[in-house]
Amino acid sequence: DAKTTQPNSMESNEEEPVHLPCNHSTISGTDYIHWYRQLPSQGPEYVIHGLTSNVNNRMASLAIAEDRKSSTLILHRATLRDAAVYYCILRATGGGNKLTFGTGTQLKVEL
Amino acid sequence: GAGVSQSPSNKVTEKGKDVELRCDPISGHTALYWYRQSLGQGLEFLIYFQGNSAPDKSGLPSDRFSAERTGGSVSTLTIQRTQQEDSAVYLCASSLGRQGSTEAFFGQGTRLTVV
């Protein structure tokens, strides 16, 4: 599986936007970019995914670089409930494509 | 059900005993995954099912670990002769298919403690 690189931790203030970066320089043309998050003492939760175009849903936005070697998860207004570990994962189009979790980014949200 | 269901939510067992962990995936989801997460650690892949077949068992740590899936639905992860290092949260996930465009949905996990 192609690897992703994320900062270990980030901090944000409540009600402010948060931009979580992810580098995936070895991404292949058929890899989808997935984001999951894991709140304390819970299983991971799907956030968003995309292939080439930017994506929006009720939880977040995903901005994908034109060369697809990086992406950014955008939380438009962080709340205390968004404090979690955020994982950026590449999922291949074919094969078993197990989700391979790295260490993710621990997001801390402060008042 | 509405989501992935795992049971039991907590299990305490004595070293050397066998345990069975159950996963009920979302109805219609053909792909099913087992992971484990030790305290403060990341998620470690164990096994993947497509239907009732397991094309990828590469993450099972030893032959004490086995899993099966029946009827393309429920899956059971069995750990024989449990050891203290098996203590972890065991997570199950399912997805509609194995394509890269499909998202995975996780259960809340089974917290296993071996004493």
CB-based contact B105 A46, cutoff 8 Å: yes
Whole-number mean pLDDT of chain A?
92
pLDDT of A86 > 90? The answer is yes
Distance CA A26, CA A29 (A): 10
Given a contact cutoff of 8 angstroms between Cβ atoms, the answer to whether A38 and A85 are in contact is: yes
**What pLDDT is attached to residue B109?**
96
Q: Give pLDDT tens digits for B25-73.
A: 999 999 999 999 998 888 999 999 999 999 889 999 999 999 999 998 9
Q: What share of chain B is helix, strand, coil (3-state, %, to 5)?
A: 5, 50, 50
Using the Cβ of B7 and the Cβ atoms of chain A, whether some distance falls under 8 Å is answered with no
pLDDT over 70 at A96, yes or no: no
pLDDT value at position A97?
64
Cross-chain residue pair A98–B56, CB shorter than 8 Å: yes
**A30 shares contact with chain B (CB less than 8 Å):** yes
Q: Report the DSSP pairing between strands A32-38 and A84-91.
A: antiparallel
pLDDT higher than 70, residue B105: yes
Residue A108 has pLDDT above 60, yes or no: yes
Give phi and psi for B23, each to the nearest 5: -135, 125
* Closest C-alpha to B6, from B111, B103, B110: B110
CA atoms within 13 A on the CB side of B46: 27
Give chain B positions within 8 Å (CB) of A2. Answer: none
* Chain B interface includes A29 (CB < 8 A): no
Q: How high is the pLDDT of residue A19?
A: 98
Q: What is the pLDDT of residues A33-63, one digit of tens each?
A: 999 999 988 999 999 999 999 999 999 999 9
For residue A95, the model assigns a pLDDT of 56
Closest partner residue to B43 among A91, A92, A101, by Cβ? A101
- Which residues in chain A belong to E strands, given as ranges? 9-13, 18-23, 32-38, 45-50, 55-56, 61-64, 70-75, 84-91, 105-110
| pLDDT given at position B101 | 82
A93/chain B closest Cα distance in angstroms: 4
CA dihedral B38, A89, B76, B48 (to 10 degrees): -130
Please tell me what DSSP assigns to residue A97. -
What are A48's two structure tokens? Answer: 């968003």
Residue B1's pLDDT band, with cuts at 50, 70 and 90, is: low
